[in-house]
Amino acid sequence: MTIFLFMKKNYTIADIDTIKANIGNLTFKDETLSFDDQLAILSHIGQSQKASLNIPYQQKASEIIKNWDFLLKKQKNNQDLKESTSLYLFPELFEPIFKAKAETKFTFIDLFAGIGGFRLAMQSCGGRCVFSSEWDENAKKTYLNNFGEYPFGDITLESTKKCIPDNFDVLCGGFPCQAFSIAGYRRGFEDTRGTLFFDVAEIIRRKRPKAVYLENVKNLYTHDNGKTFEVIKNTLEGLGYVVYHKVMNAMEYANVPQNRERIFIVCFDPQQVPNHANFKFPAPVKLTKTIHDCIDEGEKSQELFYTEKMNHFKDLQEGITSKDSIYQWRRQYVRENKSHVCPTLTANMGTGGHNVPLILTENGIRKLSPKECINFQGYPAKYEFPKNISNAAKYKQAGNSVVVPLITRVSENIISVITR
């Protein structure tokens, strides 16, 4: 019987914060494993076993289970814990909203996983995720809520890299874009976030996947007069990969009503994928969806609406006049998106200011809800944010995410090449 089945048989549910309070660090062969490390290992092991991969943390998992079994039984009568439970885990670990298909065509890893846009795309193509990593605590909770897996943490740490299994097929990652974005300071590799690409390169060098699939802001291509992208492309080619790249807009290539341009970088190892020249980026498609396909007309949450007590309310009333457009407050005036799509969603739109998309409804002027924001990123209707994170965190996650239908279209073309 596998560890995964053992856990499923013996563990029940508790709130993540409650169980974290009752599980401390664990020392394993002079290595300290935090609660997050332990949860990541336990939630990953079932996926790796199903993919028949050599699991680098098998012994750690056994030790963690023994430790949790002891500590949680000891806490059985603690008033903070539910009376009906003696052992804890989260139902999401075993009952994810989005499951991998039973028949696995290929395996992949999900770096800088965010809330799982790449995973949704790759699973829909028949892939099984065997490793995920993400540093943001709230994004990890959202990922767990939907995929039953808690991502590993800081990918710059050698201890995290050592948890990546061998022999997976595709490396996926929307590596952090703040260093290259027009919205940031554009310091590129001078910004420590920009250097995270080199951790990706190191993983590629060690693991030699068949394909690499990266996404970033459009400005990456032109940053520092093209020198930043040249460094990235030369690094990938220096590792022996053939590099394909293209800038695409979600409203032009994915039938998603958001003006969101991103650069897509797809690489193949020619030794493992000799037919790589068959790869093509998807062709444009007609935009038939409108903002109304993403907006919940029945949304009435009071915290979303603007009132007379707020600054510039009269200006908003005068400028926001159509229910078929999305607007933004640009510090001193209202700007309408004339193409009648959503402007590019950003990570800081939950903090107020000029990045907040605004709409006119029957009930007044309001900002988009977090759920509507992921609708504009093309997430499935049943995708859910967990209840124990703030709206600000949800907006950040939505703005940092990818457009799932466009990620999926590129994924389909990658998989058609590597599985032939």
**CA separation, residue 102 to residues 47, 48, 117 (Å):** 11, 14, 20
Query: Do residue 123 and residue 245 come from a single domain?
Result: yes
Residues 115 and 237 in one domain: yes
Neighbour-count burial of 71, counting CB atoms closer than 10 A to its CB (0-12 exposed, 13-18 middle, 19+ buried): middle
Among residues 192, 197, 252, the alpha carbon closest in space to that of 220 is found at 197
> Nearest 5 degrees, angle CA 126-CA 132-CA 134?
140
- 407 and 353 housed in the same domain: no
User: Does the pLDDT of residue 164 top 90, yes or no?
Assistant: yes
Beta-sheet strand order (sheet of 261-268): 127-132, 106-111, 170-173, 211-217, 261-268, 242-249
- Inter-residue contact 204 to 241 (CB < 8 Å): yes
Tell me the mean pLDDT in the region 240-262. 98
410 lies in the same domain as 318: no
Asked if residues 371 and 384 have their Cβ atoms less than 8 Å apart, the reply is no
Write down the residue that tokens 């341009």 correspond to: 261
DSSP state of 276: G
Dihedral of the alpha carbons of 375, 378, 381, 383, in degrees to the nearest 10 = -90
| Token representation of residue 371 | 């759920």
Please check whether residues 286 and 361 belong to one and the same domain: no
Q: Mapping DSSP to helix (H, G, I), strand (E, B) and coil, where does residue 299 land?
A: coil
Rg of the chain over all Cα atoms, to the nearest angstrom: 22
Q: What is the CATH number of the domain that holds 148?
A: 3.40.50.150
Domain boundary among 67, 95, 123: 95
Q: What is the pLDDT of residues 92-148, one digit of tens each?
A: 445 688 999 988 999 999 999 999 999 999 999 999 999 999 999 999 999 998 998
35 and 160 assigned to the same domain? no
- What does the alpha-carbon distance between residue 163 and residue 177 come to, in Å, rounded to a whole number? 25
pLDDT band at 5 (very low <50, low <70, confident <90, very high): very low
Partnered with residue 286 across adjacent β-strands are: none
Which residue in the block uniquely carries the two structure tokens 């336990």? Answer: 42
Catalytic annotation, pick one of 125, 177, 294, 373 = 177
Read off the tokens for 186.
């554009």
Show the domain range for 202: 97-292+380-420
What pTM did the predictor assign?
0.89
pLDDT at residue 79, rounded to an integer: 43
The two structure tokens encoding residue 337:
């998106």
Domain limit, last residue, from 60, 95, 130: 95
Same domain for 197 and 177: yes
Q: Which residues contact 225 (CB under 8 A, 6 or more apart)?
A: none
Q: Are residues 257 and 149 in the same domain?
A: yes
What distance lies between CA 63 and its chain's CA centroid? 29
Instruction: Please check whether residues 220 and 353 belong to one and the same domain.
Output: no
Residues 420 and 371 occupy one common structural domain: no
387 and 363 in one domain?
no
Tokens representing 374 are 């992921």
188, 284: one domain:
yes
pLDDT band at 10 (very low <50, low <70, confident <90, very high): very low
Q: Note if 177 is an active site residue.
A: yes
User: How many domains, the chain?
Assistant: 3
